[in-house]
Structure 1
């Protein structure tokens, strides 16, 4: 099964990326996922289910430890490992 996670961390700071946002970015960028898109108002990452679920755990733990007061996330099933299934 393949998954896509979309997430944001708060509080926002438009002047510079807060520590919790940097921690979340580091987690997804170093996780060997199939696709990662990091932006100022939302982030997405895709990969195999086990890898994505492991990343979500690390993302939550590290972002909260770095000062996040809210983390919003959504996980979507994309299909199986071959990419077939719902999109």
Structure 2
């Protein structure tokens, strides 16, 4: 099963990335997920269910410890690719 997680951490600071946002970026970029996209108003990442769920757990624990006062997230099941080459690449 593949999952997509979309999340934001607060409070926002447009002048400088807060510590909790930096922690969130490090977690998703280091989790071996596919299609990671981080930005100031929202972040998304896709991958196998186990990796996404592990990343979500770390994201919640570590961003709250780093000063986040709110973490909003949504997790969706996404369809597996019909292209075998993409399926192989996502099984990292």
Report the TM-score, using the length of structure 2 for normalisation. 0.86
Residue 5 (structure 2) pairs with residue 5 (structure 1): yes
Q: What is aligned with 1:58?
A: 58
SS at match of 1:64: helix
Q: What is aligned with 1:49?
A: 49
Take 2:14 and 2:22, find their aligned partners in 1: how far apart are those partners?
14
For structure 2, the 5+ residue unaligned runs are 83-92
Bigger helix share: 2
Take 1:31 and 1:71, find their aligned partners in 2: how far apart are those partners?
18
Over the aligned positions, Cα root-mean-square deviation in angstroms equals 0.9
Q: CA deviation at 1:79?
A: 2.3
Runs of 4+ in 1 over 4 A off after TM superposition: none
For structure 1, the 5+ residue unaligned runs are none
